[in-house]
Every structure is written in C-alpha cells, then in structure tokens.
C-alpha cells in the first residue's frame, strides 16, 4: 500500500511540475530538465499499467526505464552547466564537452559489455547504473565546488535543480553501495529509501520551479575567465613542450 501511495504521489508531482511549466511558459527556458521530468512521468505511468496487466514483465521493464532515466538525467547536468556557466562560455564549453565525452565512453563500454556478455546479470546492470551515476555525481560535485569557490550567484530555479538532483543521485549511489555489501537482505529498505528520496527530489523541484526566476547576475566572471585562460595557456604550453620533445627524439 505504501509503495502505491509513493508511486502515485510521484506521478502527481511530475504532472504538477509539467503543468506549472506550461502555465509559466518555461518549457523553453529549461528544455532538458522538463524532458527529463516528462520521461519520468511517461515511465511511471507506463510501469504502473504494466504492473497491473503483466506483473511478470515488470522487473525487466522497470530496470530498462530506470536506465533510460539515468541517461536522460544527464540532460539536467547540461541544463545546470548552461545556466550557471553561461557568462563564462569557455568554461561552460569545456565542462559540457568533457562531461559528454566521459559519459558517452562509459555508456558505450557498458552497453557493449552487456551485449557481448554471454548472460548479463542483474549485478552487471547495477554496476553499470552505479558507474553512470558516479560520473554524474563527480561533475555535479565539481560544479557545486566551483559555485562556492567563485561565489557564483544562481536563481531559485537552478538552485532547486541542483539540490533535488543531488539528493536523488547521492541517495541512489549510497543505497547501491550498501546493497552491494548487504545483498538481498537490504531489499526491504531499498524499496522504501529510493522512492522516498525521489519524492523529496520532486517536492524540491515543485517548490523551486513553481515560479520562473531568471538567473542572477554573475559575480565572478573575471576570476573564472582569468583562471580558464590560464588553464588553456598552460595546456597549450605543455602540448608544445611535448611536441618539441617528440621532435627531438625523432631526429637521428
């Protein structure tokens, strides 16, 4: 009964977030974020129907939906990067490209491994899920550290996205880690902790995005630009030194 209450509460929260976005006309402001919420709503609604009509097929499609949500969830990071680092195009481009490359490589390797493995297990699937979430957690933590280090101002909408998704990702990683040690004995707690953390995330998003609030004016553009330029210059210098060293080594 509790599971159904949590399930339907999630569907209600997701619907409210999307309906409020239509009212506030903010779908175009945060397209990646609302795509993620729409994916969640579609998955939750479809899985509920499946659990009623074909309970035996539910576990497989539940994991598939969860995996899809993790992949689409990377769009929230792109959304956050785009808005937080918008005044600093060089830093935003570097963060976006490096994040996509690392996430894409990890996703490709994991999918190929699941395909070529003779009998992909649930443990393998959970390891892939954990690794993808770990990449997202690293980039989200790095961004939060950057925000605090430079004192970057943010609007309420972006603050809510970061807080809500941070709760969701960190809770999932912790529960996956505990389950890897505790095994199936942790399942009773797992089926409660995960949905409750997700409901907290949805509540934060509903509250933070109830009204549209433009991003605050940047406070540290000069500092970030200077550090980024120094990083680029240092990288170019090191690449030049490596080329010179290789050239000298290649000469007879």
5-50 pLDDT, tens digit each: 888 888 999 999 999 999 988 888 898 899 899 989 998 888 888 8
Angle between helices 221-250 and 122-150 (to 10 degrees): 120
| Residue the block writes with tokens 């109830």 | 210
Q: Please determine, for residue 220, whether its predicted confidence score (pLDDT) is greater than 50.
A: no
Cα 205 from Cα 30, distance rounded (Å): 12
Residues 225 and 103 in one domain: no
Highest mean pLDDT among 53-57, 114-118, 183-187, 196-200: 196-200
Whole-angstrom Cα distance, residue 10 to residue 134?
24
Average pLDDT of 83-108? 71
pLDDT digits (tens, 9 = 90+) for 45-60: 888 888 888 888 777 7
Question: Which of the two residues, 120 and 43, has the higher pLDDT score?
Answer: 43
3-state secondary structure of 244: helix
Quote the mean pLDDT of the chain.
Answer: 76
Domain count, the chain: 2
Residues 40 and 159 occupy one common structural domain: yes
**224 C-beta neighbours (distance < 10 Å), count:** 21
Alpha carbon distances (Å) from 35 to 42, 67, 72, 79, 158: 10, 15, 8, 11, 16
Lowest mean pLDDT of 31-40, 118-127, 240-249, name the range. Answer: 240-249
SS3 content of the chain, % helix, strand, coil (to 5): 85, 0, 15
| Same domain (yes/no): 132, 195 | yes
Range of the domain at 14: 2-216
156 has a pLDDT exceeding 50: yes
Q: Are residues 112 and 163 in the same domain?
A: yes
Q: How many Cβ atoms from other residues are within 10 Å of residue 55's Cβ?
A: 9
Q: Mind giving me the DSSP string for 90-123? A: HHHHHHHHHHHHHHHHHHHHHHHHHHHSSS--HH
How much is the pLDDT for 138?
A: 83
Secondary structure class of 47 (helix, strand, coil)? helix
Task: Give pTM, 2 decimals.
Answer: 0.76
- Give the model's confidence band at 217: pLDDT under 50 very low, under 70 low, under 90 confident, else very high: low
Residues 58 and 161 both lie in one domain: yes
15 and 41 both lie in a single domain: yes
Q: Say if residue 23 is in the same domain as residue 95.
A: yes
Residues 195 and 238 placed together within one structural domain of the fold: no
Query: Which pLDDT does position 247 carry in this prediction?
Result: 47
19-23, 61-65, 130-134, 137-141: lowest mean pLDDT where? 61-65
Q: Are residues 171 and 231 in the same domain?
A: no
Residues 97 and 80 in one domain: yes
Is residue 237 very low, low, confident or very high in pLDDT (cuts 50, 70, 90)?
Answer: low
Q: In this model, does residue 233 exceed pLDDT 60?
A: no
* Structural contact between residues 233 and 189, judged by C-beta atoms closer than 8 angstroms: no
Put residue 25 in one of left, alpha, beta given phi > 0 → left and psi -120 to 50 → alpha. Answer: left
Higher model confidence: residue 168 or residue 190? 168
| pLDDT given at position 13 | 93
Same domain, 202 and 236: no
Distances (CA, A) of 156 to 74, 84, 90, 179, 224: 20, 12, 24, 34, 22
First to last CA, the chain: 78
Q: Is the pLDDT of residue 251 over 60?
A: no
> Do 133 and 155 belong together in one domain?
yes
User: Which of 169, 187, 179 lies closest to 133, judged by CA?
Assistant: 169
Average pLDDT over residues 218-233: 49
């Amino acid at each position: 009964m509790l599971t159904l209450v949590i399930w339907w509460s999630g569907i209600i929260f997701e619907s409210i977030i999307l309906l409020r976005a239509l009212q506030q006309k903010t779908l175009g402001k945060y397209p990646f974020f609302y795509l993620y919420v729409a994916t969640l709503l579609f998955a939750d609604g479809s899985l509920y129907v499946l659990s009623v009509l074909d309970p035996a097929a539910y576990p497989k499609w539940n994991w598939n939906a969860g995996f899809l949500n993790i992949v689409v969830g990377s769009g929230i990071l792109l959304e956050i990067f785009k808005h937080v680092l918008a005044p600093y195009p060089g830093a935003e481009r570097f963060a976006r490209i490096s994040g996509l490359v690392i996430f894409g490589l990890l996703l490709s390797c994991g999918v190929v491994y699941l395909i070529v493995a003779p009998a992909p297990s649930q443990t393998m699937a959970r390891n892939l899920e954990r690794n993808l979430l770990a990449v997202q957690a690293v980039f989200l933590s790095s961004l939060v550290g950057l925000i605090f280090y430079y004192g970057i101002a943010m609007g309420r909408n972006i603050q809510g996205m970061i807080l809500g998704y941070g709760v969701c990702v960190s809770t999932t990683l912790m529960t996956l880690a505990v389950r890897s040690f505790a095994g199936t004995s942790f399942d009773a707690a797992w089926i409660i902790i995960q949905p409750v953390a997700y409901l907290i995330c949805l509540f934060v998003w509903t509250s933070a995005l109830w009204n549209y609030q433009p991003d605050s004016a940047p406070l540290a553009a000069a500092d970030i630009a200077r550090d980024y330029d120094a990083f680029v210059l240092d990288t170019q210098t090191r690449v030049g030194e490596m080329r010179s060293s290789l050239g000298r080594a290649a000469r007879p």
